Amino acid sequence: MNEEYNPDIVTLTDDDGKEYTFEILDAVETDDARYLALLPVHDDPKKLLDDDGELVIVRVNEEDGEEFFEEIEDDDEYETIADAFIDRLQDFFEIDEQ
């Protein structure tokens, strides 16, 4: 069996025009919204070693048929979604809950 790993990669641009590349690890859909758990991708091995491995969680919104990602600003919403991702991903990754 030769199953190749083909990660879902997205590149996001911040307000200053700086680009960041992420691998989509998982998605959670609720009655209100869809969320993604992203892990930073680094081409430079030194940056990979320096990375703390913290997940980035974003809300997916759609406007005029185009998807965009936004930061979750509500603390309760963030905690609820973060807990859902931790429950789903803890079997695959070592997760340090702080």
pLDDT above 70 for 45:
no
- Structure confidence at residue 49 as a pLDDT band (50, 70, 90): low
Look at residue 58 in the predicted model and tell me its pLDDT.
Answer: 95
Global pTM reads 0.76
- Structure confidence at residue 3 as a pLDDT band (50, 70, 90): low
| Tens of pLDDT, residues 54-94 | 788 999 998 998 988 999 999 999 999 999 988 887 776 55
Pairs from 54-63 (Cβ < 8 Å, separation ≥ 24): 55/25, 55/82, 55/85, 55/89, 56/22, 57/81, 57/82, 57/85, 59/33, 59/34, 59/35, 60/27, 60/33, 60/34, 60/35, 60/36, 61/33
| Tens of pLDDT, residues 17-43 | 998 889 998 999 999 899 999 988 877
